[in-house]
Amino acid sequence: MHTTAATDIRILPAELNAFVRDIWLAAGSEAREAALVADHLVMSNLTGHDSHGVGMIPRYARALGEGGLVLNRHAQVVRDAGAVLTIEGGHGFGQVIAAEAMEHAIARARKLGVAAVGLRNSHHIGRIGHWAEQCAAAGLVSFHFVNVAGFAQVAPFGGMGGRFGTNPFCAAFPRPGREPLVLDFATSSIAVNKTRVAYNRGVPVPADCLMDHEGNPTTDPKVMHEAPFGSLKTFGGHKGSGMAVMCEVFAGALSGGYTTHETTKVKGSDIVNCMLSVVMDPQAFDAPDAQAEAEAFVAWVRETRRLPGHSEIEMPGEPERRHRAERSEAGIPIDPTTWNQILAAARGFGVAEARIAGLALR
Ligand SMILES: NC(=O)c1ccc[n+]([C@@H]2O[C@H](COP(=O)([O-])OP(=O)(O)OC[C@H]3O[C@@H](n4cnc5c(N)ncnc54)[C@H](O)[C@@H]3O)[C@@H](O)[C@H]2O)c1
């Protein structure tokens, strides 16, 4: 669902990155925080996940104004049990907190072969693939279960009321000399922020993703943005529903954070994520042929005969790299509604009109 339109503005990634950095510097972020947030948001757009890109800025600005997002916080290890770490996010920028949590996990997995990190109370940690890629770049295998604490927007299988968030799961396998395998998806049929992108663009979402407040199927994204609110369905029927439950419990409960229920339902604009990450050193297994076995499998899978309309068999992580190559050249498309919301947020933080007027748009 990577819709574009003739009315979109296009902006090159470096130009957008510098602008996003200036927005957060103006808001009061330290230089490293502003850079980490800009890198993460622009990379999400580059990989084709506009749902988790710069379109989040207006939401983050509201959360900051309401006190739900706190600038210049760092990941705090609150319990160190060797291979198990518990980390408090303190409602700081997830783009900083998760990066630092992964630094701890990587150091511990290198030392012990495996590390499990329970991260709690971080503000939105965005595209989870970013964190798995950080582990993979360090040569480590990882998987991650995430809850969106207090977001009752997804209905359980067989239900019609939202009971949990879009709870993403992510796993990555590094391949020396090649790009890693990175599987990264919401357990809802689509990420809720993809309904925001469709709502802003005035286009429907794919069929079988949404229901209205009475449980009727709909493709109108407004049911997630205007009362009476509907809910998202899980992916894969009962399987996605079950996986979302495990994400909620592993991430929200085991980290010492919280799960979604009546007393924790969100009231403001902030987005709280908790994440259970398990990070492993592949060298610690007795598996000298692990890479060769993985490559033999990938090659075998690709060789299958294709169904009509499918020119190739892709591996997890490849669509994101395809988008990154395309958008690095052509620029990142942003619809006018989202762009105006971003500019309003920038102005709200005091970014100068001359800076905005000087942006090179395509
Ligand atoms: N922080 C949060 O609270 C939160 C919540 C929900 C989702 N998210 C993020 O939203 C993003 C989008 O999620 P989504 O569910 O819309 O993703 P999606 O449905 O686009 O699925 C993406 C995954 O499927 C893989 N994939 C796509 N086509 C494939 C193919 N033909 N063969 C093999 N693999 C293929 C991709 O490489 C990727 O790993 C993710 O980055 C996720 O982490 C974050």
CATH assignment, 1-66+286-362: 1.10.1530.10
Establish whether domains 1-66+286-362 and 74-188+234-283 are of one fold. no
> What residues contact 180, with CB distance under 8 A and at least 6 apart?
132, 133, 136, 172, 173, 174, 317
If one residue of 185, 205, 266 were mutated to test the ligand 1 pocket, choosing by the most ligand atoms within 8 A of its CB, it would be 185
Tell me the chain's radius of gyration from C-alpha atoms. Answer: 20
**Do 151 and 266 meet the contact criterion of CB atoms below 8 Å apart?**
yes
Query: Closest ligand 1 atom, CA of 48?
Result: 20
> Which residues line ligand 1 at a C-beta cut-off of 6 Å?
49, 51-52, 124-129, 146, 148, 166, 168, 170, 182-186, 190-191, 194, 273, 314-317, 319-320
User: Which fold is adopted by the domain 74-188+234-283?
Assistant: Ribosomal Protein S8; Chain: A, domain 1 (3.30.1370)
Residue whose entry in the numeric block shows the structure tokens 């949990």 = 164
User: Domain boundaries in the chain?
Assistant: 1-66+286-362, 74-188+234-283
Q: Flag whether the pTM goes above 0.85.
A: yes
Residue-by-residue pLDDT tens, the chain, 362 positions? 556 777 899 999 999 999 999 999 999 999 999 999 999 999 999 999 999 999 999 999 999 999 999 999 999 999 999 999 999 999 999 999 999 999 999 999 999 999 999 999 999 999 999 999 999 999 999 999 999 999 999 999 999 999 999 999 999 999 999 999 999 999 999 988 889 889 998 999 999 999 999 999 999 999 999 999 999 999 999 999 999 999 999 999 999 999 999 999 999 999 999 999 999 999 999 999 999 999 999 999 999 999 999 999 999 999 999 999 999 999 999 999 999 999 999 999 999 999 999 999 98
| Per-position b or e across 114-124, b if 16+ CB within 10 A of its CB | bbbbbbbbbbb
- Using CA atoms, how far apart are residues 95 and 33, in angstroms rounded to an integer? 8
CA of 360 to the centre of ligand 1 (A): 30
